[in-house]
């Protein structure tokens, strides 16, 4: 296994790409962001030495988390201890990290484990203040129930965690809700910003347009599934009717946790609740 780090800077925001390679293939990439002395997310455990060096070089004095997933929190406990700093996140991330959470064998293999951490709760009415910037947490569930984006209104920056990732996506995890993500995306597209500091795919230009593209894609997708479902088709049939393709390697290696069909299931699950 090899871990590679790349660093970037845009308009005063320093950001770092941490990629894990196995057998020459990039199997996981995540970005962390630094605004003054604030670190947003902490990368995978396997990037520990690199993130520590970055955090020390940049004199990090506090950490904000977008959500609890292992590629974002893999070093939070470690950095809090090494740097003697506090970390902040949604009250649910606080709860999850205080108890620790069960990871799949594949997630452990890809990213390493996540140690328990005592993180401080941040309410959506709170703000994160640094020397030059003010970040507002925006509650944006759907990818995970504890998901915050961080918005710097004056600069037009949105640190969007895992809510964007791409204009169109092909897979969903079993725990994700497509309709809830639509609500969160609507909340975000109502904000004024241009730069999308996405944790897997940052867009330093036309960030809002990319987020609007994602919203449109989800609305179209949900609309199509709803129509077929109301005509009496089941998930399997809808999947075929929509011409969707499964990546069976991904599906089976994750024991069904990640699949294209999960996107259809998510819509139907929420339709049944309505
Ligand atoms: Fe995530």
Q: Ligand 1 centroid vs 274 CA: distance in angstroms?
A: 26
CA 188, chain centre distance (Å): 14
Q: Ligand 1 centroid vs 72 CA: distance in angstroms?
A: 7
Mean pLDDT over residues 30-41, rounded?
98
DSSP result, 81-122: HHHT-EEEE-HHHHHHHHH-----HHHHHHH-------PEE-
Q: Ligand 1 centroid vs 135 CA: distance in angstroms?
A: 20
Q: Ligand 1 centroid vs 232 CA: distance in angstroms?
A: 33
User: Rounded to two decimals, what is the model's pTM?
Assistant: 0.95
* Predicted confidence (pLDDT) per residue in 160-186, tens digit: 999 999 999 999 999 999 999 999 999
| Residue of 143, 225, 226 whose CA lies nearest to 181 | 143
Q: Ligand 1 centroid vs 101 CA: distance in angstroms?
A: 14
* Predicted confidence (pLDDT) per residue in 53-104, tens digit: 999 999 999 999 999 999 999 999 999 999 999 999 999 999 999 999 888 8
Q: Ligand 1 centroid vs 162 CA: distance in angstroms?
A: 5
* Predicted confidence (pLDDT) per residue in 186-202, tens digit: 999 999 999 999 999 99
Contacts of 145 (CB under 8 A, 6+ apart): 92
In angstroms, the CA 78 to CA 68 distance is 15
pLDDT value, residue 5: 61
pLDDT value, residue 26: 82
* Predicted confidence (pLDDT) per residue in 210-219, tens digit: 999 999 999 9
* Predicted confidence (pLDDT) per residue in 227-246, tens digit: 999 999 999 999 999 999 99
Q: Ligand 1 centroid vs 231 CA: distance in angstroms?
A: 33
Residue with tokens 């037009």: 156
pLDDT value, residue 101: 86
CA distances, 266 to each of 72, 143, 234, 242 (Å) = 24, 11, 13, 15
Lowest mean pLDDT among 26-30, 38-42, 209-213, 242-246: 26-30
Round the average pLDDT of the chain to a whole number and report it.
94
3-state SS, residue 201: coil
DSSP result, 1-68: -EEEEEEEEETTEEEEEEEEEETTEEEEEEEEEEETTEEE----GGGHHHHHHHHHHTT--EEE-S--
Collect residues with CB below 5 Å from ion ligand 1.
69, 162
Neighbours of 190 (CB within 10 A): 7
Angle between helices 207-230 and 261-273 (to 10 degrees): 70
Torsion from C-alpha of 59, 61, 67, 72, nearest 10 degrees = 30
Q: Ligand 1 centroid vs 230 CA: distance in angstroms?
A: 31
Strands 62-64 and 86-89: parallel
Q: Ligand 1 centroid vs 69 CA: distance in angstroms?
A: 5
Sign, CA torsion 258/93/41/22 = negative
The DSSP 8-state label assigned to residue 174 in this structure reads T
CA distances, 154 to each of 11, 33, 36, 191, 206 (Å) = 12, 18, 15, 11, 17
Residue 249 confidence class, pLDDT cut points 50, 70, 90: confident
User: What tokens does 46 get?
Assistant: 């396997």
Q: Ligand 1 centroid vs 181 CA: distance in angstroms?
A: 13
| Residue of 36, 108, 41 whose CA lies nearest to 79 | 41
């Amino acid at each position: 296994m090899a871990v590679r780090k790349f660093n970037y800077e845009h308009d005063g925001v320093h950001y770092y790409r941490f990629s894990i390679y196995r057998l020459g293939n990039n199997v996981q990439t995540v970005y962390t962001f630094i605004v003054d002395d604030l670190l947003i997310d902490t990368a995978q455990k396997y990037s520990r030495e690199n993130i520590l060096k970055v955090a020390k070089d940049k004199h990090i004095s506090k950490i904000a988390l977008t959500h609890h997933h292992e590629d974002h929190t893999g070093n939070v406990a470690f950095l809090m201890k090494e740097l003697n700093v506090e970390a902040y996140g949604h009250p649910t991330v606080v709860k999850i990290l205080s108890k620790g959470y069960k990871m799949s064998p594949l997630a452990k293999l890809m990213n390493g484990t996540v140690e328990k951490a005592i993180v401080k709760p941040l309410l959506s009415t709170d703000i994160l203040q640094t020397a030059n910037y003010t970040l507002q947490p925006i509650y944006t569930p759907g990818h995970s129930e504890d998901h915050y984006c961080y918005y710097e209104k004056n600069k037009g920056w949105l640190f969007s965690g895992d809510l964007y990732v791409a204009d169109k996506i092909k897979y969903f995890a079993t725990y994700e809700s497509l309709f809830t993500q639509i609500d969160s995306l609507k909340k975000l597209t109502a904000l004024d910003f241009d730069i999308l500091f996405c944790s897997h795919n940052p867009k330093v230009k036309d960030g809002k347009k990319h987020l609007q593209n994602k919203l449109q894609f989800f609305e179209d997708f949900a609309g199509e599934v709803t129509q077929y479902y109301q005509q009496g088709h089941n998930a399997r049939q809808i999947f075929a009717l929509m011409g969707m393709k499964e990546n069976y390697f991904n599906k089976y290696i994750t024991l069904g946790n990640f699949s294209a069909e999960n996107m259809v299931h998510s819509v139907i699950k929420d339709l049944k609740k309505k």
